[in-house]
Each structure stands twice: as C-alpha cells, then as structure tokens.
Amino acid sequence: MGKAYVFLLVSSSYLCANSKRRHESSPICLHDVFFRVGGAAAGRAAVNLLVNSSDTIIDHTWIWRADHGRGVGWQSNTSANGLVVNGDHVTAYGLFVEHHQEFQVMWNGEDGRTYFYQSEIPYDPPNQASYTSAKGVNGWASYKVSDNVNRHEAWGLGIYSVFLKPDVVLSRAIEVPQRPGVRFHDMITVALGNLGEISHVIDDAGEAARINSHVTPKVAEFPVTPAAPR
C-alpha cells in the first residue's frame, strides 16, 4: 500500500497561520475526531491537526501515532506533532495525543485553555540522540507552550512513558514559559514498562517518574506557590 497522510486544517482568513480574525460570537467547533498515523499501513504526517483559527473549540479528540500494527517503526510511520495551535482563544476539552516524535502538542496562540489532557510519549526512540529537542534537553515535552506566549491555562494533565530502548529519558513532561499568565493545575507523570524516566513534571518542577519507584510525581499548581512561613 502507498503512504497514508493524516492532516486536518482548521483555519480562516485565507488559511493564514497569523490570522487574527475573531469568531467569538460563533466559535468553530471540532468534536469526536480520531487520527491514526500508521498501524494499518505506513502512514506519515508532519502535523495531524493544525488550528489557525481563533475562537475554536476542540472537544474529545484522540490524535495517535500508532505504536503497533503494520508499518510501525521510528522511520516508518513518522509524525512530528499531533496538535499545533496558532489561533488565539482556542479551548480543548478531553484532549488525547500520543506517540508523536516531537512535541505532542505545540501551542503558539494566546489565551489557550485545556481541560483534561492525556498523553503517552513515543515508545520507540531508538536512542537519546534521536530523541533530543535542544542542547541539554532529553526528549520533547509532551505539552509545549511556545516561549513567546503570555497567557495560557490548563487543568488535569497526565503524561506517561513506556520506553523500549535503554538510556532514553525525557527531561520534562510539560514545558512552558514562566510568566504570571501561564498557569497549570493538577499534573501527574507515570513511568511504565522497564526502562527510562520522566525527570520532571513541568519545566524543572516535580520529581522524577522512574520505573519501579512506586511514585507518581504530581504538581498541583504551576507556577509553584512558595509555602507560607510558619
């Protein structure tokens, strides 16, 4: 079978990534959508769901790079990102994004919100060199808020690892700019399987999720609020 391409664009204003047209009186809605890259055949996609429109609501979406089935492999069913958001005022409910090879979610727009996020990072990086986002940073965070974003908020995020190769780890599950308008609530990481770890929950906060540690690291609020003096 030939290559299968999975791609959906939600956009306006001539499909421009820098579109600023508002739709607050009649928001765009995308719900109950399933993506799969590979598994039935060797599918490939750079970005599965690209949202350029502002005032978009995403409800119950599973964006999956296959981890089993036909044509599955690090070089076979390639997919960099599950979701890329360029629009402002985009809200996601029940967002599931798994196994993509770079950021599972890349959020570039302002005033984004996510209510419940589940993500399993890729099983199959063959080595750390193949899974490194920047100098000194192991892997690609599952949920990434762009460094130039000033306002973003998310509630209830769980990120899991199941590495299949030795000496592959993830530095952080969530990566965000540290600004007052960027706030995250109730996050958890879990290391499954027999290999690897997630070293931090969000940026450098939260202890490591390690195999056989019987610890599921949690961060309740970010930025972390310093404890009041006793």
Check whether 12 has a pLDDT greater than 50.
no
Could you identify the residue written with the tokens 């690609």?
140
Q: Looking at the predicted structure, is the pLDDT value of residue 136 above 80?
A: yes
User: Are the C-beta atoms of residues 84 and 109 closer than 8 Å to each other?
Assistant: no
Mean of pLDDT values over 154-178: 97
Name the token pair of 145.
């808020």
Q: What is the pLDDT of residue 26?
A: 84
For the beta sheet containing 28-37, the strands, ordered from the edge strand earlier in sequence to the opposite edge, are 28-37, 56-65, 91-98, 112-120, 152-161, 182-191, 218-222
Q: Is 197 a catalytic residue?
A: no
Q: Are the C-beta atoms of residues 163 and 126 closer than 8 Å to each other?
A: no
Q: Please, is 136 exposed, middle or buried when counting C-beta atoms within 10 Å of its C-beta (0-12, 13-18, 19+)?
A: exposed
* Domains of the chain, CATH where assigned: 28-222 (2.160.20.10)
Confidence label for 131 from pLDDT (cuts 50, 70 and 90): very high
Residue 39 bridge partners (DSSP)? 70
Which residue's entry shows tokens 């047209």?
A: 21
Single out the catalytic residue among 98, 102, 120, 175: 120
The region of weakest confidence among 38-42, 101-105, 189-193 is 38-42
> Is the pLDDT score of 205 beyond 60?
yes
Considering only CA atoms, which of 230, 191, 227, 182 is closest in space to residue 212?
Answer: 191
